[in-house]
Amino acid sequence: MSILAVDLGSTFGWFDGKNGGSISVGKDKKMFNFYKIVLDKILTYSKNGNTIKTIVFEDAKFQQGNAIYNFHGQKAILELIADSFNIKFVGVPVKTAKKFITGNGNADKEVVAKAITKLGYKYTDLNHSDAISVYLTYKNSIKEV
């Protein structure tokens, strides 16, 4: 199963099990930039003979201020893309991913990143690290219904 894990936000982190990174979509840029980035990733992945079966996102729905609008806007766009390509769309709660990776559901991003490094993964920034933690949590502990 090919899984694309993402960390939504002004910087979009992603990881597919082998490759990953982060892309700035900017706080002041339109949601179109986010839409284009995700769509390009899915189409490029498909052109290389792979199929994304599941998109897993860090479900950080309890953000504050403008972050909540950014999160829900990106989530809506991502859900539309997933539906258009018949891709399963699953949220992993932030505390669930943090607890799986570090043993502490309230761990700071830096602690999660250090745990990701100890597991043998390299990351470009904390958004990429979060995407890896979401990927590993989903792949290893979330039960399919």
Mean pLDDT, all residues of the chain: 83
Query: What is the per-residue pLDDT for 18?
Result: 82
pLDDT reported for residue 29: 55
pLDDT digits (tens, 9 = 90+) for 69-107: 778 888 888 898 889 888 999 999 999 999 999 999 999
Angle formed by the axes of helices 66-84 and 31-47, nearest 10°: 30
Q: How far apart are CA 126 and CA 113, in angstroms?
A: 7
Q: Which of 23-32, 64-73, 83-92 has the lowest mean pLDDT?
A: 23-32
Number of domains comprising the chain: 1
State which residues form the domain around 77: 3-141
CATH of residue 10's domain is 3.30.420.10
Q: Tell me the mean pLDDT in the region 3-14.
A: 83
Q: CB-based contacts of 30: which residues, under 8 Å, 6+ apart?
A: none
Q: In Å, what is the CA distance from 143 to each residue of 25, 31, 78, 133? A: 32, 32, 22, 16
